[in-house]
Chains A and B, each alone.
Chain A
Amino acid sequence: MKEKRNVLLLALPCTLTLLIAFIIPMVYTFIKALINDNLTYYTKFFTDPFYMKIFGNTIKLSLKTTLLTLVLGYPSAYFIARTKSKIKSILIIATIFPFLVSAVIRAYGWMVILGDSGILNQFLLNAGIIDSPIKIMYTETAVMIGMAQLVLPYMILSITGVIQNIDPNVENAAKSLGANPVQTFFKVTFPLSAPGVISGCILVFTMGMTSYITPQLLGGAQYLTMSTLVYSQIKTTYNLEFANAICYILVFAILIFQIVANNISNSVNKRLGSGKNA
């Protein structure tokens, strides 16, 4: 039992910091707001279609971003995990490299590309594909593109780690048993990589729900998400109580999502078994 206590001791500094600087203030603010305002602001949020739409948009944006990064990230992850060439470490570094550039700068970069007179529209106009600039900036599409680029590395790294641990002979076995490459992927590779896909999706979805810089700069006032709504409630409307309620709605939404996702993840991991078959 002593050993167990020592292990718990190791977790103490982090736990204490989180408790004092995060959990206690959160609970305190939540309860205090409830005492002062009852459920006034929560009711306001859930009964006004305007706010509900923003809530819905945020979830939709996060889901779309998750799906986009999954589709973009999986092939890259598979390649990185399976390549035997020396560029493997370079690819991993290249995956992490964008972290060196701040989200603000990257958002400005996307503005240059996606704006009405941006590179993309100029190109399409000059190529004669369109007659007038298409509006991308300050739409869901712009935010989604910016977000996807921001969170893609998390998806790639989560999946790469899992695929690296799948025995290539298991895929070969499937082929020898008559499965074509598509069947091999959907019946063997993908199910076995599910733990990585799930943890990647949890990460990316959560980051999509809470991200602020990207929606603020690429979505602006025309495309609001929960986090930019909170900001505008504080800075523009000075409605701190309402901003507080929105924050907690977001927190609870993510909490519920995490609980559901963790349950799925646990049952998948259980199905695959903790140990690999040697």
Chain B
Amino acid sequence: MGYLSIKGLTKRYGDFTAVQNINIDLEKGEMVALLGGSGCGKTTILRMIAGFIEPNEGTVEINGQVMNKIPAYKRNVGIFFQNYALFPHMTVYDNIAFSLKLKKMDKNVIKEKVESILALVKLEGLSERYPRELSGGQQQRVALARALVMEPNVLLLDEPLSNLDAKLRVEMQVEIKRIQRTLGITTIIVTHDHEEAVSLADRIIIMNAGHILQVGSPKYVFNHPKTPFIADFMGFANLIHGTVREVSDGRTSVRTSTGAVVNSTDTESDKAAVDEEVIFSIRPENILVSDKPEEGYLKGKVLSLTYKGNNTRIVVENIFDEPLTVSSYDYEGPAAGEDIYVAFPESKVIIYKK
């Protein structure tokens, strides 16, 4: 029985089921990420927790109290909107003080609280500005401060970093994590970016089409996606079809239609029998590359190279029917059209039954 407990939550719009029988339990102070593509129902769940929409079935409980019939303004749930939704007609100070003024707090107390939260989000000295006079990152921090200052029981973050540039995004990830830890607020973060989910959350919930597909620690989900769909979503660019040739001592050997053989010693993989058709998967960055033939390496041809700063994304053909995506750090290997040799560390290859 967690601090925030969602039981059998279902939301339908006409014939369309946006959210289907969702169960989530959060411990006090825990930060959980809802990860999924657009339209998977993650934002709908957030809006039901906040109280903006009512579920057709199921309950939302906070600290043991059923929230379904309690209007949004009495729930003390802070929400951070993807587009910030700041009050454009109010200064930064008035935006943040909004909830405190509604509670009819003493003016000096409000001033103190606003100033300390401004310090927390590093926005001192901007309290008299209007939202339109702030940069995207500053607006975002105002929105965060506004949600935090009310000392919410639960904090909901809807795609908090999606509108920021790469540098600011990393900065804010650290900030959000630090603030959430400092204040110990039970938090749900909704995102479509697996890296964001992995770096922020204590636990990740992967969703698709209104269902929960997998729940686990960031590290576990990152390394052991339960299905090929999740693997694809978590950045496993390679999903390759093959047939099990041999199973022994926890090692599964898979042969593809091109005759290439790949071994897996991953203990969490599906247990497939000999001659069974399977899909195996490996993260691009776990594949080893070489420019000359080596023991255990398969020969292929470089189809294309994309430089991404430190990483280079290499698409390799002629090994499997499917093109293979490899990500290499500081790559200085063969150019497009040249031969390349790749190897698959056995513990990093995951096998899925079809």
Do B88 and A192 touch (CB < 8 A)? Answer: yes
Knowing A172-B52, A183-B102, A277-B139 are in contact, say whether A178-B150 is a contact too (CB < 8 A): yes
Q: Which residue of A lies closest to B79 (CB)?
A: A176
Q: How far is the CB of B308 from chain A (nearest CB, A)?
A: 28
A174 touches B88 (CB 8 A): no
B88-A179 in contact (CB<8A): no
**A178 and B76 within 8 A (CB):** yes
Does residue A273 face the partner (Cβ distance < 8 Å to B)? yes
Contact present for B85 and A167 (CB under 8 Å): yes
Is A177 a contact partner of B88 (Cβ separation < 8 A)? no
Q: Is the CB of B81 within 8 A of A179?
A: no
**Nearest-Cβ distance from residue A85 to partner chain B, whole angstroms:** 12
A188 at the interface (CB under 8 A from B): yes
Say how far A167's CB is from chain B's closest CB, in angstroms: 6
Cβ < 8 Å to A, chain B residues 65-79: 71-79
Known: A167-B85, A169-B83, A178-B150. Contact between A275 and B76, CB under 8 A? no
Tier of interface size on chain B: 20 to 34
Q: How far is the CB of B143 from chain A (nearest CB, A)?
A: 8
Cβ contacts under 8 Å, B77 to chain A:
176
Q: Name B98's contact: one of A179, A192, A277 (CB within 8 Å).
A: A179
For the complex formed, measure the closest distance between the CB of A253 and the CB atoms of chain B, giving whole angstroms.
31
The CA-CA distance from A184 to B132 in the complex, in Å, is 21
Give the CA-CA distance A277 to B133 in the complex, in Å. 10
Which B residues lie within 8 Å of A170 (CB)? Answer: 85-88
In the assembled complex, the CB of B44 is this many whole angstroms from the nearest CB of chain A, namely 14
A175 CB within 8 Å of chain B: yes
Return the contact of B50 from the options A176, A181, A192, A272 (Cβ within 8 A). Answer: A176
Q: Does B167 contact A (CB under 8 A)?
A: no
User: What mask results when residues 111 to 131 of chain B are scored 1 for a CB within 8 Å of chain A, else 0?
Assistant: 000000000000000000011
- List A residues 231-278 near B (Cβ within 8 Å): 271-273, 275-278
Within the complex, the shortest CB–CB distance from A95 to chain B, in Å, comes to 27
Q: Which residues of A contact B85 (CB under 8 A)?
A: 167, 169-170, 172-173
Bound complex: CA of A132 vs CA of B252, how far in Å? 99
CB of A180 closer than 8 Å to a CB of B: yes
Contacting residues, chain A, for B76 (C-beta < 8 A): 178
| List of A residues within 8 angstroms of B102 by Cβ | 177-179, 183
User: Chain A nearest CB: distance from B328 CB in Å?
Assistant: 37
A166-210 interface mask toward B, CB cutoff 8 Å, 1 = contact, 0 = none? 010110111111111101100110011000000000000000000
Minimum C-beta distance from B179 to chain A (A): 18
CA–CA, A153 and B353, complex, Å: 64
Whether B89 pairs with A176 at a CB distance below 8 angstroms is: no
CB contact list, A150-177 vs B, under 8 A: 167, 169-170, 172-177
Knowing A178-B73, A179-B98 are in contact, say whether A278-B83 is a contact too (CB < 8 A). yes
Residues of chain A within 8 A (CB-CB) of B78 are 176-177
Q: Which of B79, B86, B103 is within 8 Å of A277, CB to CB? A: B86
- CA–CA, A170 and B84, complex, Å: 8
**A contact residues around B312 at 8 Å (CB):** none
* Cβ-defined contact, A178 with B84, below 8 A: no
Known contacts A169-B85, A170-B87, A277-B84, A175 near B131 by CB under 8 Å: no
Q: Which of B51, B79, B132 contacts A173 (CB 8 A)?
A: B79
Q: In chain A, what residue has the closest Cβ to B76?
A: A178
Nearest-neighbor residue (CB-CB) of B86 within chain A: A277
Q: Which of B73, B147, B150 has the most CB of A within 10 A?
A: B73
Q: In the complex, which residues of chain A have a beta carbon less than 8 angstroms from the beta carbon of B72?
A: 172, 175-176
Q: Which residue of B lies closest to A278 (CB)?
A: B83
The reply on B192 being an interface residue by CB < 8 A is no
B132's closest neighbor in chain A, by CB? A273
Task: Determine the distance from Cα of A175 to Cα of B103 in the docked complex, in whole angstroms.
Answer: 13
Least CB distance from A189 to B in Å reads 11
By beta carbon, the residue of chain B nearest A194 is B89
Q: Is B20 an interface residue (CB 8 A)?
A: no
Name the residue among A170, A174, A176, A277 with the largest chain B CB count within 10 angstroms: A176
Q: Which of A172, A191, A276 has the most CB of B within 10 A?
A: A172
Q: Which residues of B contact A276 (CB under 8 A)?
A: 88
Determine whether B23 belongs to the interface, using a CB cutoff of 8 Å to chain A.
no
Does B146 interact with chain A (Cβ within 8 Å)?
yes
Q: How far is the CB of B219 from chain A (nearest CB, A)?
A: 32
A and B contact pairs by CB, cutoff 8 A, 23 listed = A167-B83, A167-B85, A169-B83, A170-B86, A170-B88, A172-B50, A175-B51, A175-B71, A176-B51, A177-B78, A177-B102, A178-B76, A178-B102, A178-B103, A179-B73, A181-B73, A188-B87, A192-B89, A273-B88, A275-B132, A277-B84, A277-B86, A277-B131
Known: A167-B83, A177-B146. 18 other contacts (CB 8 A): A169-B83, A170-B88, A172-B81, A175-B71, A175-B72, A177-B73, A177-B99, A177-B147, A177-B150, A178-B103, A178-B150, A180-B71, A181-B73, A184-B73, A273-B88, A273-B132, A277-B83, A277-B139
